[in-house]
Amino acid sequence: MFLPDNYEFYCPVKTNSGNRALEHIPIDLDSLSSRKPLVITSKDVAGKGVVRKIINAFKESGVTVGIFDAVPDVPDIKFIEEISNIYRNKEHDSIMALGGGPIVDVAKIMNIAVSYNIQGLKELAGDDLIINPLGPFVLVPTLSGTGYETSRFAKIEDLTFSSHFLMPDLVVIDPRMIKAEDSQTVVATAMAALTHSAEAYTCPAKNPLTDTYAYAAIQYIAENLVNVIEEPKDKEGRLALANAAAMAGCALSNTTVDIVHTLGEVVGDMFDLPDGICMGILLPYGLEYSSNKNGYHTADLLLPLAGFDEYAKTSENLRARVAINMITEMQHDLYDSTKSETPRTLEEAEVPRYMLQDIAEKAVSHGSPKFDFDGYLTILEHAWEGKPITRN
């Protein structure tokens, strides 16, 4: 187990997961001094009896719930102002995001607006400019997530916010709320969550507490993702994936963003592919590339991926290779079980080979100074062909 000379870690998120988790929310709201939450969601999520389940769960608790079910797919700052006014006018005292994606961004950013009571959000966009705790924020995921939901990050228009105060106080994972979804979405979100947790688990900025969250996330995904795709009714598997996503965000928020995350976003953005699908393709090659760099802990990844037995049986110098092979195999299994819909290489994702240089250049302008053009290009070329960087 790696222990750095110095580290800091902060994760305010309480997790409530499992049967009747919704019914526990009023107790937690009470300890957050909240009696009047505003539930925000979209028509798409709310349309399926989901809101009724929340209302029923609160029935005898004395908590008054407001419901706003019209968060648009692409919210803007003007929308944040509107919904913040609703919150203020109806005197709500906490925010409950029901769903994922833009709903969570809206919840986090309106929490800044109503807690700071300001109009100009721009001045708080950036790293750690939010220096006071915000109001209570509860997250109830309805889909398997990427980790972004519980993380310190939020985006709207061209503004990005990053602060520990944006993380939810409570995440409530109730099997009744986790909807069945198409396999492409499951693969994309789970591979993004795997990337976030695997990079957190192997990067030089890790510590025993990021490990705690990342380990559990990686193991849940490794054990359940392929099953959930093959057996969409596997409720326990879905619950495990939702847990993994919540944990991945806690790990992600306490390490630095690494190479696969950065490249995956760039590729996704340039070719209009889901980021998570791109991260999944790139993950084995990115891990392999960084395993040769100083300070990375790629071999450790075998423990959460394969469990105690396999880890103990595999000799130390082979662990990194076996771990990376397992992820490649998982990609192949997903390709098979989604009937070839999940690309295994950038070629299968229809990324033109001649564009790889452009991608690498763009990644350099986005990414961390730890990685250079040649590094990005090496990863991209191998991920395009689907060939390991070192062949042995």
Partner 1 sequence: MHLPEYYEFCSRVKMIAGHGALEKIPGALADLHAKRPLIVTDRGVSGAGLVNIVTDAIKDGVSIGAIADDVPQDSDLRVVNRLAAVYRENGCDSLIAVGGGSVMDTAKGINIVVSENADDLMKFSGAGALKRQLKPLVAIPTTSGTGSEVTLVAVIKDHEKHMKMTFVSYFLLPDVAILDSRMTLTLPPFITASTAMDAMSHAVEAYTCLAKNPLSDTSAIAAISLISKNLLKVMKNPSDKDGRLALANAATLAGMAFSNSMVGMIHNLGHSVGSVCGVPHGTCMSILLPYGLEYNMHKNGDLTAELLLPLAGPEVCALTPKHLRAERVIDHIRQMNQDLHEISGGAHARFFREVVDRQGKQMVPKEKLSDIAGKALGDGALFYNPEDLDYDDMLMVMVAAWEGVPLDRSLIKRG
List residues binding partner 1 (CB under 8 A): 1, 3-21, 24, 27, 30-31, 33, 131, 207-209, 211-213, 215-216, 219-220, 223, 236, 239-240, 243, 247, 308-309, 311-313, 316
Alpha-carbon distance of 309 to 2, in angstroms, equals: 20
- Nearest distance from C-beta of residue 17 to partner 1, angstroms: 6
Q: Which helix (H) or strand (E) holds 322?
A: helix 319-337
CA neighbor of 241 nearest in space, from 186, 202, 163, 167: 186
- Nearest distance from C-beta of residue 370 to partner 1, angstroms: 22
- Nearest distance from C-beta of residue 7 to partner 1, angstroms: 6
Cα 341 to the center of its chain, rounded Å: 22
CB 179 within 8 A of CB 279: no
Backbone angles phi, psi at 173, to 5 degrees: -110, 105
C-alpha torsion 122→125→131→134, nearest 10: 80
- Nearest distance from C-beta of residue 277 to partner 1, angstroms: 25
Considering the complex, state which of residue 188 and residue 216 has its C-beta at the smaller distance from partner 1: 216
Considering the complex, state which of residue 220 and residue 384 has its C-beta at the smaller distance from partner 1: 220
CA neighbor of 279 nearest in space, from 192, 376, 387: 192
Tokens found for residue 225: 């993702």
Considering the complex, state which of residue 164 and residue 370 has its C-beta at the smaller distance from partner 1: 164
- Nearest distance from C-beta of residue 220 to partner 1, angstroms: 6
Considering the complex, state which of residue 103 and residue 190 has its C-beta at the smaller distance from partner 1: 190
Considering the complex, state which of residue 21 and residue 143 has its C-beta at the smaller distance from partner 1: 21
Alpha-carbon distance of 183 to 230, in angstroms, equals: 9
